[in-house]
Amino acid sequence: MLNILLTAIIIIVAFALLLNFIKKRRTEETETVLEVDDKTYTLEKMQAFIKKRLDEITKINLYDIGLSEEELKRRKNKKYELKKALKGCTYGDVNDKKYVKELIYDLLYREYGVNETNVSKAIPFDIPSLLTAQDKFDIIIYMYKMEFGYEALSEIIKKYSLDELKYVEGDAKPSYVITPQEIDMIYEKENFMLTLEDKINVVVQRIYQHYKGYSSIDEIRDMNIDGISGGVSGLPESFLSQVAQTDGDYLSQIAEHKVPRACDSIWIMFHGKSIRLAFLSFGTEAELKRVCQNIYKYNNPGQLSDTNGYKINEMKDGSRVVVVRPSMSETWAFFVRKFDVQRATLEQIIRFPGKEDAIDLLKYLVKGARIISLTGEQGCRKNNNAYGND
């Protein structure tokens, strides 16, 4: 009699657990059903979905869903790989970045239901007049990257002579700058024909760069250029807020003349020239701050704080990064120096008249093991000369 009673209790408990498990799974399935509305396929909604799904994937308790031993082992490996990639991609690891972007692509295409009809609600691919300069640049860099890899940006600059001095409206002197008008011109000339896969990949990159990447500079940082920096020019937010409280007229004058803010400041170093990317912006100081707080984190160099207002470190690919923050500096800012400069001879680097004497002098100084000091302003090719002397 006792055995029968115990068996009945075990069956009842097992049945209750089974019912609870089925109810839980149905609840989870119900929660994942999308409520489709006019804003479902905006970048903000899709980014929120991706954040939620990746959080669920990395935090799910695999022991609660009744997997076989083989399936449990496989799912644990995938979970560990994703966690590792999500951490590594913030350090500038291009392989981890590729892995995360492929997963985002699958989630958008298979679960979120992105297709030919609704993908243009995120970025208006079919109406060029509605595309922003950043939209057009994202498409251009994606298409060039498919053909040229990490030389894509260099190819664009060389093809359209974007590294030449030019006058910008309101400036008294010429400067190295790439304007939104030039991006519009390039996009119109290229006349790309995008497939659905291309469009989704552009959307994936936009979502990724605001989720785990480095905002507007994410793809540019990976390119084979001399370096990139942000927040190093323009008016700081603290200054603008003080002016707004004391002198509203001056603030309106600043807005009228479109004076760049610090969060609009993006510069690249290309063949020793500092070129401002006037068509790109971080958008807000908060986004610039997020990039600064993440870009130096490789190998845990310590916390960037108000008392320790700068950090010097390396990224995963060997790039040197310097980050500063208020109150040590007026704004949050970073400098990334890449070492992708191809080896060159002194004859290629030194081009002024009488260069033969300067080259001979440098050779004899090096052969004589003399101490040499190379000085000059930023971008005057001091580092390239050092490469030439090796």
> Looking at residue 257, what is its pLDDT?
47
- The residue segments making up the domain with residue 24 are 1-33
Total domain count, the chain: 3
The DSSP call for residue 284 is: S
Are 331 and 364 found together in one domain?
no
Are 335 and 230 found together in one domain?
yes
Question: Is residue 39 in some structural domain?
Answer: no
Are 264 and 334 found together in one domain?
yes
> Looking at residue 29, what is its pLDDT?
42
> Looking at residue 19, what is its pLDDT?
59
Are 299 and 385 found together in one domain?
no
Whole-number Cα distances in Å, 350 to 145, 238, 347, 382:
32, 43, 6, 11
> Looking at residue 124, what is its pLDDT?
94
- pLDDT tens per residue, range 362-389: 888 888 988 888 787 766 666 554 444 3
Per-residue buried b or exposed e for 353-374, using 16+ beta carbons within 10 Å of the residue's own CB:
eeeeeebeebeeeeeeeeeeee
Task: Determine the 3-state secondary structure of 189 from DSSP.
Answer: helix
In the listed set 340, 360, 380, which residue is the last one of a domain according to the structure? Answer: 340
> Looking at residue 17, what is its pLDDT?
65
Question: Is residue 151 in some structural domain?
Answer: no
Please say whether the beta carbons of 131 and 124 come within 8 A: yes
Question: Is residue 136 in some structural domain?
Answer: no
Measured CA to CA, the distance from residue 306 to residue 308 in angstroms comes to: 6
Question: Is residue 327 in some structural domain?
Answer: yes
Are 298 and 370 found together in one domain?
no
Are 300 and 230 found together in one domain?
yes
Are 361 and 336 found together in one domain?
no
Measured CA to CA, the distance from residue 332 to residue 360 in angstroms comes to: 44
The tokens for 51 are: 């954040």
HSE of 156, CA atoms in CB hemisphere, 13 A: 28
Provide the residue type at 48 as one letter. Answer: A
In the listed set 325, 340, 355, which residue is the last one of a domain according to the structure? Answer: 340
Are 224 and 324 found together in one domain?
yes
Question: Is residue 305 in some structural domain?
Answer: yes
Provide the residue type at 292 as one letter. Answer: C
User: Using CB atoms within 10 A of its CB, is residue 176 exposed (0-12), middle (13-18) or buried (19+)?
Assistant: middle
Sign of CA dihedral 337, 339, 342, 345: positive
Are 262 and 367 found together in one domain?
no
pLDDT tens over the chain, length 390 residues: 666 766 767 777 666 666 565 555 544 443 444 556 667 899 999 999 999 999 998 988 887 777 788 888 888 898 999 999 999 998 889 999 999 999 999 999 999 999 998 999 999 999 999 999 999 999 999 999 999 999 999 999 999 999 999 988 777 789 999 999 999 999 999 999 999 999 999 999 999 999 999 999 999 999 999 899 999 988 887 666 666 556 555 556 555 546 678 899 999 998 888 999 999 999 899 999 999 999 999 998 998 998 899 999 999 888 999 999 998 998 999 999 986 555 556 776 676 778 888 888 888 888 898 888 878 776 666 655 444 433
- Give the domain CATH number at 299: 3.30.450.370
- pLDDT tens per residue, range 334-369: 999 986 555 556 776 676 778 888 888 888 888 898
Are 281 and 362 found together in one domain?
no
Are 329 and 350 found together in one domain?
no
Question: Is residue 228 in some structural domain?
Answer: yes
Which of 321, 316, 318, 314 has the alpha carbon at shortest distance from 292?
Answer: 321
> Looking at residue 18, what is its pLDDT?
61
Are 359 and 317 found together in one domain?
no
Beta bridge partners of 333: 324
Q: State how beta strands 273-277 and 177-178 pair.
A: parallel
> Looking at residue 160, what is its pLDDT?
96
Question: Is residue 332 in some structural domain?
Answer: yes
> Looking at residue 248, what is its pLDDT?
56
Question: Is residue 381 in some structural domain?
Answer: yes
Per-residue buried b or exposed e for 249-287, using 16+ beta carbons within 10 Å of the residue's own CB:
eebeebeeeeeebbbbbbbbbbebebbbbbbbbbeebeb
